[in-house]
């Protein structure tokens, strides 16, 4: 009796395991095919370049002030030296703060990226969820999320082009 019950449980377990449906998508591939994402990325790149130039200019000004100070420090009084050194340190701190505010963790670039890219990513995620529920998939993996997330993938299960089609991109 126990053997029959055990065999029945194994059979049911094997049946349930084979009933699960898996698929994967490549979100990097999907995002690169979306014109809105490319446009957002161009805006971010342009903004970052402008900010980088601004910050580089501030650091160049600090370097010039320091160089000028090095040339003139023998002619300056101790009080003037201290004042100039404080000015250089303050300008450098200002440049570092601006760099951190623009490019640091949760800085302006991060916020701008979130503002421009997040809605597009949400749209892709919604399309993936809709496809998964419509087609009855139990799991959909993201192929682009890192090397260790998928060691082998059969291209017949790649739904990236289907997601693009559902988003209106051919």
Kindly list the distances between the CA atom of residue 39 and the CA atoms of 43, 44, 51, 137, in Å, as whole numbers in the listed order. Answer: 6, 9, 18, 32
**Count of positions (residues) in the chain:** 170
**Cβ distance 26 to 143 under 8 Å?**
yes
Please state the pTM of the whole predicted model: 0.72
Q: Which letter does DSSP use for residue 151 in this model?
A: S
Please determine, for residue 2, whether its predicted confidence score (pLDDT) is greater than 70: no
In the predicted structure, residue 153 carries a pLDDT above the cut 50: yes
Answer with the residue of higher pLDDT: 152 or 94: 94
Q: Please provide the average confidence, as pLDDT, over all residues in the chain.
A: 86
Beta-carbon contacts of 123 under 8 Å, excluding residues fewer than 6 positions away, are: 167
DSSP 85-121: HHHHHHHHHHHHHHHHHHHSTT-HHHHHHHHHHHHHH
Residue 18 has pLDDT above 70, yes or no: no
Question: Residue 6 has which token pair?
Answer: 């055990």
Structure tokens that stand for 32 in this block: 């690169």
Contacts of 125 by beta carbon, 8 Å cutoff, 6+ apart: none
Q: What is the pLDDT of residue 144?
A: 84
Residue 11, pLDDT score: 47
Q: Is the pLDDT of residue 151 over 50?
A: no
Predicted confidence at residue 68, as pLDDT, reads 95
Region 88-113: mean pLDDT is: 96
């Amino acid at each position: 009796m126990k053997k029959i019950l055990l065999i029945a449980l194994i059979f049911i377990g094997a049946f349930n395991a084979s009933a699960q449906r898996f698929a994967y998508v490549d979100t990097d591939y999907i995002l690169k095919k979306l014109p809105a994402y490319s446009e957002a990325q161009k805006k971010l790149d342009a903004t970052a370049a402008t900010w980088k130039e601004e910050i580089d200019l501030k650091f160049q000004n600090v370097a010039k002030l320091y160089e000028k100070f090095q040339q003139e420090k023998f002619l300056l009084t101790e009080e003037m030296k201290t004042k100039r050194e404080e000015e250089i340190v303050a300008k450098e701190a200002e440049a570092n703060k601006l760099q951190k505010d623009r490019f640091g963790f949760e800085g302006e670039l991060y916020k701008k990226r979130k503002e421009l890219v997040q809605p597009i990513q949400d749209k892709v995620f919604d399309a993936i969820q809709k496809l998964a529920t419509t087609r009855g998939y139990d799991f959909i993996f993201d192929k682009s999320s890192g090397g260790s997330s998928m060691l082998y993938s059969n291209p017949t299960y790649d739904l990236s082009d289907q997601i693009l089609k559902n988003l209106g991109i051919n």
